[in-house]
């Protein structure tokens, strides 16, 4: 597939498409596969690099010198944005939700090691953080900077295009391994951009695959609205209006949302253990935490023609493990600067 937009390369090749034979047998699934989008090279890896390739391509094409984005203090998107922006020669400001940043570990520690400027905004939610990002961008412009805003999760029409290209990559890998189309693809849904890009790709290729989106924080109706909104934006950008909209056979689920974002649960911990025991790798938070145990216990037995399932692992492994277990690379103190800016000092 020819790229429709400027791209700043961050991926050196395809991410692995792997069978999960042992886990599939345990769950009673005829053929279970996983797309390892956590296996990327930069800053412990993660799926957001797919979006950042096109977002940073746009920022560089526009002549920007500063990237402003945000999320939770342990955001994987934030960590990868800082690392990718550093590679592209751009500074990064991170606007975090809440009044305080929390323990300096995991992704937050990596953010400060990478040199980002951090702000505890007091705002919550994607819209609240976007409003703060715009305020910061206005302040940066007064300083003579040219900022580029990336919304939470990198979900814009331009960013979500990265998952249209991911769909074509998945289809190519599937065909190379002589697999029939996947019956169902399971993917975690946060802001909704990843599913939007994949679904547009599916619609463009007219592949008979059903999506199962597992919401990590929004109710089903709101999640569906957001995914369809991002699909419309993306299709407008690529001039393919007919590819917009989830299919009637797609489904979204909100019954596995946990107590709060990034908070471990017994079910999530069991899912991590199960995957590690059956395959030898693990994931924290998005794709597994708070829900895989429920999904696996209640998994319907597929008919004999079911070909496979896809799980998009969307997070890096080591930073999140460190988040769940107190860890320090060094003794860290925090100094609060002006306008809720935080500076870190390693002794």
Would you please indicate which residues are annotated as catalytic (active-site) residues? Answer: 75
> CA 98, CA 111: separation in Å to the nearest integer?
17
Residue with tokens 């599916």: 202
Residue with tokens 């390739």: 53
Strands 32-35, 117-120: pairing kind: unpaired
Of 98, 108, 51, whose CA–CA distance to 320 is shortest? Answer: 108
Cβ–Cβ under 8 Å, residues 38 and 314: yes
Cβ–Cβ under 8 Å, residues 308 and 21: no
> CA 88, CA 66: separation in Å to the nearest integer?
11
Q: What are phi and psi of 119, to 5 degrees?
A: -130, 130
As a dihedral over the C-alpha atoms of residue 107, residue 66, residue 137, residue 123, rounded to 10 degrees, the angle is 0
DSSP 65: -
> CA 321, CA 343: separation in Å to the nearest integer?
24
Of 206, 196, 186, whose CA–CA distance to 166 is shortest? Answer: 196
> CA 137, CA 64: separation in Å to the nearest integer?
11
Residue 100 Cα to chain centre, angstroms: 23
> CA 227, CA 219: separation in Å to the nearest integer?
12
As a dihedral over the C-alpha atoms of residue 157, residue 159, residue 162, residue 164, rounded to 10 degrees, the angle is -20
* Strand (E) or helix (H) holding 213: strand 210-215
DSSP 16: P
């Amino acid at each position: 597939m020819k790229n429709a937009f400027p791209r700043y390369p961050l991926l050196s090749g395809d991410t692995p498409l792997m069978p999960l034979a042992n886990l599939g047998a345990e769950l009673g699934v005829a053929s279970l596969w996983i797309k390892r989008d956590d296996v990327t090279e930069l800053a412990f890896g993660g799926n957001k690099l797919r979006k950042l390739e096109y977002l940073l391509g746009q920022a560089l094409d526009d002549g920007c010198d500063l990237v402003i984005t945000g999320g939770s203090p342990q955001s994987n998107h934030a960590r990868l944005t800082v690392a990718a922006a550093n590679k592209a020669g751009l500074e990064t400001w991170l606007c975090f939700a809440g009044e305080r940043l929390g323990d300096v570990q995991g992704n937050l520690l990596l953010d400060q090691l990478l040199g980002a400027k951090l702000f505890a905004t007091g705002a919550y939610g994607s819209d609240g953080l976007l409003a703060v990002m715009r305020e910061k961008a206005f302040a940066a412009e007064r300083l003579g900077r040219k900022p580029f805003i990336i919304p939470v999760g990198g979900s814009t029409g331009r960013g979500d295009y990265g998952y249209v290209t991911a769909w074509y990559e998945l289809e190519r890998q599937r065909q190379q391994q002589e697999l029939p189309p996947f019956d169902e693809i399971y993917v975690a849904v946060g802001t909704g951009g990843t599913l939007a890009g994949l679904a547009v790709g599916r619609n463009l290729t007219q592949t008979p695959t059903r999506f199962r989106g597992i919401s990590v924080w929004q109710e089903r109706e709101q999640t569906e609205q957001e995914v369809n909104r991002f699909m419309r934006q993306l299709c407008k950008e690529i001039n393919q209006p007919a590819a917009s909209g989830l299919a009637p056979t797609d489904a979204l689920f909100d019954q596995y949302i946990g107590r709060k974002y990034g908070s471990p649960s017994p079910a999530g911990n069991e899912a991590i253990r199960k995957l590690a025991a059956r395959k030898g790798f693990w994931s924290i938070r998005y794709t597994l935490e708070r829900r895989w145990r429920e999904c696996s216990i209640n998994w319907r037995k597929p008919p004999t023609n079911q070909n496979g399932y896809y799980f998009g692992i969307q997070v890096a492994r080591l930073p999140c493990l460190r988040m769940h277990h107190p860890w320090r690379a060094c003794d860290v103190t925090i100094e609060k600067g002006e306008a809720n800016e935080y500076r870190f000092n390693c002794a």
